[in-house]
Amino acid sequence: MQQRYFFVGVGGSGMMPLAMILAGRGATIAGSDRTLDQGRLAPKFEALKALGIDLYPQDGSGIVSPDQIVVASAAVEETVPDMAAATRVGAQRMRRADLLASLFNDSRVRIGVAGTSGKSTVTGMIGWILHALGRDPTVMNGAVMKNFATADRPFSSALVGEGEAFVSEVDESDGSIALYSPDIAVLNNVSLDHKSLEELRTLFGDFAAKASRVIVNASDPEAAALAATIGSDKRTTFAVEAEADLVARDLVPEPFAIGFTLEGEGRSLPVRLSVPGRHNVANALAAIGAVVASGVPTEDAARAIEGFVGLKRRFELVGEAGGVTVIDDFGHNPDKIAATLDTLMAFPGALKILFQPHGYSPLKVMRRELVESLAARLRPGDELVLPDPVYHGGTTSREVTSADIVADLTAQGAPARHIPDRAAAAAHLVATAKPGNRIVVMGARDDTLSQLAADVLAALDKRNQP
């Protein structure tokens, strides 16, 4: 009998690609989402319907049989009607992470991408290289891969292939990284986001220990320390302008691209990425290292990666109006935000930043590092505006708020202000932006931020009409 799954929160960034993969493999998929119930992000749910996925209100009405497997993230509370319905009808329940890990671990060639920052981009890069070279991989990503997006499939955060490789980013924030058994493990970096460094060292170290080949960032102190515990016969190190097995030198930055020379295996190869920033050079080295470990020649990998055009919400140019550029970005922890700001600050133009924190708990964990990162980069003429953190319901502690972060920043002389309502925060930036400025919408765990960025561009355009 064809397996039947019901996804609670089917539109989520981790749930949607998993549902797409299972649907592509012939399973019967249905789901619910409170965003759908709220009448938001209609195009996303139309895309799911087009894949044959049935959608229901999140009121338990879609769960009617014990033959259904009800899939939910660990964050979904028992009080959600769908979870109560699953208990009532006796349906099997699975965590999203357990289901994904089982698909991953059952694959012939398992490439797992880990790290606090950059894993979605590296996953997309690996997927694109393997696809471009005819390896037909299956790819599970937490972001839309623009290379695979089409008019009829705009939300391409997954790729379903017939080849041996299953490429997936793996999540440390909920500890589910421990479920994966990779053949090839990529370790991009280790830094604060959801967990303490002590917890992260254990999680990432155990993940790397399972692999037959580990691709590790020698420029990241924590990752390099883990690399030192891995035998040289099973590790490939990479670094930007530092000693490693794969090295990028002679960087040539552009506003929305970057070139470099790839050195490794006794040869030098010119590479030009269609995504900007030093951090993306490091991401490219990680991806090249991973596909080479899977049997792809280095020259082929270096040539193919030039065709990678990036992910939605990763330093994505939304447009320009009245001399003001609008950029949509996923930056939400100290490292991601620093990478984006460093890339922007290599070129002229004051920054007007709207940063929506992705939750109260992460804000508490990364408070000091976040403030240090922002205070070190914001310049006179720049402005950072923080609305209140994203909140999707449920119980949470609000010990640290956006107002606290702004107070910390202003105490250090950084140009920051708290405007609790997000729409009002965006309106402030539109009203005060001048030609040559760049408005950056930053944040995670809220798909409506892309629409906000589009609204900002539209408001700028309207402001500049006679």
For residue 194, pLDDT over 60 is answered with: no
For residue 323, pLDDT over 60 is answered with: yes
| Predicted confidence band of residue 361 (pLDDT cuts 50, 70, 90) | confident
What number is the average pLDDT over the span 173-185?
A: 89
The one-character DSSP state at 90 is T
Scanning the structure block, which residue is given the tokens 């994505």? 316
Tokens of 439: 């408005």
For residue 457, pLDDT over 80 is answered with: yes
C-alpha 394/C-alpha 83 separation (Å) is 14
Query: What pLDDT is stored for residue 431 in this prediction?
Result: 95
Question: Which has more pLDDT, 466 or 62?
Answer: 62
Q: What angle do CA 341, 344, 345 make, to 5 degrees?
A: 85
Question: Which has more pLDDT, 362 or 324?
Answer: 324
**For every residue of 430-464, which 3-state class applies, written as one string?**
HHHCCCCCEEEEEECCCCHHHHHHHHHHHHHHHHC
Ranking 94-108, 184-198, 301-315 by mean pLDDT, the lowest is: 184-198
Cβ atoms of 288 and 240 closer than 8 Å: no
Cβ atoms of 355 and 327 closer than 8 Å: no
C-alpha 208/C-alpha 190 separation (Å) is 13
Cβ atoms of 315 and 279 closer than 8 Å: no
Q: Which residues contact 336 (CB under 8 A, 6 or more apart)?
A: 117, 118, 330
| Predicted confidence band of residue 192 (pLDDT cuts 50, 70, 90) | low
Q: Of 365, 305, 339, which is closest to residue 217 (Cα–Cα)?
A: 339
Q: Of 334, 330, 348, which is closest to residue 441 (Cα–Cα)?
A: 330
Ranking 25-29, 195-199, 425-429 by mean pLDDT, the lowest is: 195-199
For residue 23, pLDDT over 90 is answered with: yes
Residues in the chain: 466
* CA distance readout (Å), 400 to 23, 166, 309, 376: 41, 39, 37, 21
What number is the average pLDDT over the span 214-236?
A: 89
Q: How does pLDDT run across 137-148, given as a tens digit for each residue? A: 999 998 999 999
What number is the average pLDDT over the span 379-395?
A: 84
Q: Which residues contact 96 (CB under 8 A, 6 or more apart)?
A: 14, 15, 18, 71, 72, 73, 74
Scanning the structure block, which residue is given the tokens 């449920």? 394
Letter for the amino acid at 165? A
Ranking 30-34, 124-128, 194-198, 417-421 by mean pLDDT, the lowest is: 194-198
What number is the average pLDDT over the span 226-235?
A: 87
Letter for the amino acid at 267? R
For residue 131, pLDDT over 70 is answered with: yes
Give the three-state DSSP class for 197: helix
The pTM is what? 0.87
For residue 232, pLDDT over 90 is answered with: no
What number is the average pLDDT over the span 353-365?
A: 87
Q: Of 408, 326, 323, 331, which is closest to residue 362 (Cα–Cα)?
A: 331
Query: What pLDDT is stored for residue 257 in this prediction?
Result: 95
For residue 394, pLDDT over 70 is answered with: no
Q: How does pLDDT run across 89-123, given as a tens digit for each residue? A: 999 999 999 999 999 999 999 999 998 788 999 99
For residue 172, pLDDT over 90 is answered with: no
| Predicted confidence band of residue 396 (pLDDT cuts 50, 70, 90) | low
Beginning with the edge strand found earlier in the chain, give each strand of the sheet holding 416-418 in spatial order. Answer: 316-321, 324-329, 438-443, 351-356, 383-386, 416-418
C-alpha 121/C-alpha 87 separation (Å) is 38
Q: How does pLDDT run across 263-290, given as a tens digit for each residue? A: 998 889 999 999 999 999 999 999 999 9
Query: What pLDDT is stored for residue 393 in this prediction?
Result: 62
Query: What pLDDT is stored for residue 303 in this prediction?
Result: 97
For residue 129, pLDDT over 90 is answered with: yes
The one-character DSSP state at 388 is P
CA atoms lying within 13 Å on the CB side of residue 314? 28
C-alpha 144/C-alpha 16 separation (Å) is 10
CA atoms lying within 13 Å on the CB side of residue 73? 18
Exposure string for 286-302, b = 16+ CB within 10 A, e = fewer:
bbbbbbbbbebebeebb
Q: How far is CA 291 from the centre of its chain?
A: 20
What number is the average pLDDT over the span 218-242?
A: 90
For residue 199, pLDDT over 90 is answered with: no
For residue 395, pLDDT over 70 is answered with: no
| Predicted confidence band of residue 30 (pLDDT cuts 50, 70, 90) | very high
What number is the average pLDDT over the span 230-247?
A: 93
* CA distance readout (Å), 279 to 119, 122, 188, 269, 396: 11, 11, 10, 19, 33
Query: What pLDDT is stored for residue 235 in this prediction?
Result: 94
Q: How does pLDDT run across 412-455, given as a tens digit for each residue? A: 999 999 999 999 999 999 999 999 999 999 998 787 899 999 99
Average pLDDT along the chain: 92
For residue 2, pLDDT over 80 is answered with: no
Q: What angle do CA 79, 83, 85 make, to 5 degrees?
A: 110
For residue 193, pLDDT over 70 is answered with: no
